Structure 1
Amino acid sequence: MADMSLRGATCISRAHLDSIRSKVLEPHDDYNTERLRLKALSDERASKWPNTLQAGRARKERARLERAAAEENERIEADALEATLQAENRRVQIERANKVLFDETDKVKTLHGKMLESDAIKENEALVAYKKQIAVLRKAQDAAFVEQQRQALEAADAVELKKYEEARQRAMQQRDAQNKQLDELKAKILAERAADKKEGQLLKERAEKEAADLRAKELARIAKSKEHNEATRAANQALQAFKLKELERQKEQERAIEAYSTKKANQMVNAFSVLLISLLLFCSMRIALSKYELCLEQVQFEACAQTLTLFAICCVCVSLCVCVCVCVRTRARALQSRKTLVRK
């Protein structure tokens, strides 16, 4: 029965149970105290977090204070270094001024003069000794160089003498070999001359025979060339005659084409002139008749007379135009006939 009653129960830890009892049993002041404690604990934990706004502000503030402190330390060090340099400069200037004042006294000037004279004497003595050492060394060096040159010349003479003897021996051997080669060459040349003489006789006979053959071939070639030249000349003459005929035919065609073109042009000019004259005559007559009818309707006899006079003038003008066109055409035909005669 007891097991059946505990089957639906929930188990909790003792700490959880104590926490529940403290919240239920403790008064309200203890609750505020616990809240403050938890807040202080949370603030302490948050102060250790590096990524909060407060931590960033604090870090920036610390960095600013550290930079300010570093700059201040640098300024202090620079001021101390500047003070040290100024003090050193003042000391050097004071020492230089004291030395100048000390050197300006007569005793010091005399002492300096004596010291300079002593230094000059010592320097001259050292220079004289150095020159003597240089002279001794140069003499020894010259003697050693002369001895070295003498030994080198003796060695060179011995080498040259040996080379001369070897060259003379080689020349003697070469002369003997050349004499032997000359004797052999003479015998060979005499034998070759005899053979060449015999071969030359044979070549002469062969050359004479080949020359005769060549002369015969050349005569045949010349005869054939003459025949070919005659045939070529005849062909050239026939070709020139054909070209002249073709040229005459082309000129005849050009003259026929030009005559036809001139004829057509004259026909077109005549047609245009007749058309223009007809048009002018028609217009003039039409205008004159219109004015004449208008004058008759208005019973203006003077205007009618003027209109008839104008009509007569128009007829005269048209006649003059016809005469000018006929003259121009006659002149063009005369020029064309003259050109044709000149070409012929």
Structure 2
Amino acid sequence: MLRVGLTGGIGAGKSTVASRLEEHGALLIDADAIAREVVEPGTPGLAAIVAEFGDEVLAEDGSLDRPAMAERVFNDEAARGRLNGIVHPLVGERTAELLSGAPEDAIVVHDVPLLVENHLAPSYHLVLIVNAPADVRVRRLAESRGMPEADARARIAAQADEQRRRAVADVWLDNSGSPEMVRTEVDTLWSERLVPFEANVRLRRPAPWNRELVEHDPAWLDAARRALDRIRLVAGERVTRADHIGATAVPDVPARDVIDLQLAVRSADDVDTLGPLLADAGFPPAMSPAPDAVSRAQDVVWHGGADPGRPVALRVLADDNPSARRALLLRDWLRADSDARAEYARIKREHAGVSGADHPRYAEAKQTWLNDVTAKAERWAAETGWTP
């Protein structure tokens, strides 16, 4: 099962994307719809709300007067917290029921308006953000809901801003154009990323690693952070460190478009225990991406990312493994030393140009250089007081 988190600001057109995904066969779980379901007349949820806030939050027909309830809690954080304390557990229970009934090969799209605000992104295999400029959203809210401009802008300001949404977005859909434009993007996303991603998770196979050398991409840092957030959530108390390592973690250095990650855990037993959990989270077991000394070590276990849109190479090892410290030392030394970065970049480009970045000779040349400069990095660590 593939779990996709879908969100976007009010008026961004998230429902258009959700409907298109559902047309393709996704199982859509709408958090807003469930929130309405669990407070329908006669439910324990509505009874609890009335007990907390009084009969004035009821409409004439005995249902929840949602506009009155919204007005009651919009500018009252304490009241909003009490309401959420009633509704959120009920929504969680109903969501779990729907998930338990989903088929093994389902692509589940969870439409959650406050996904960003409630820090839920790491619990999904992939997060899809739908966005549109504020002026477009204000116009849509006026046309579709008759909402005054001041109210619309207040609602927009109360939600996560674009920067926070971009920080968790694995996929960013600009929905400022026509509905047909965004539907076309969703069609491509479905066929080229979501369908193979689901199959990879279900079959426990990583997406292929990219083999060509490319110039440094600043987006690698954010992609690594999102992957590490998911990994830390799975590893829980077993993790001692989770880091972005390798060339993709160093500015100005070219690399294959594969995010290198390292998970250090308390013991070798934890390395084995985490295997199935990481696979469920979208990081199945994998062969080593390069024939270097670390890759051949018996106490390092490799995992790959199942997402075909974001290749990942994750190595898992015990915290006391010396190679865990060495990877962090070389990364931080290269970040600090511009001359070393330039030399490393030259070595990589030169050998990739001769044999290709997927050839053993490229890996050997790169590893030989790193082995040769490890003593220099250790002197830098001693002089600066560096520790992992």
TM over 0.5: no
Q: TM-score, normalised by structure 1?
A: 0.12
Higher relative contact order (CA 8 A, sep 6+): 2
Q: Give 1 or 2 for the bigger CA radius of gyration.
A: 1
Q: As a proportion of its length, which structure holds more helix? A: 1
Q: TM-score, normalised by structure 2?
A: 0.11
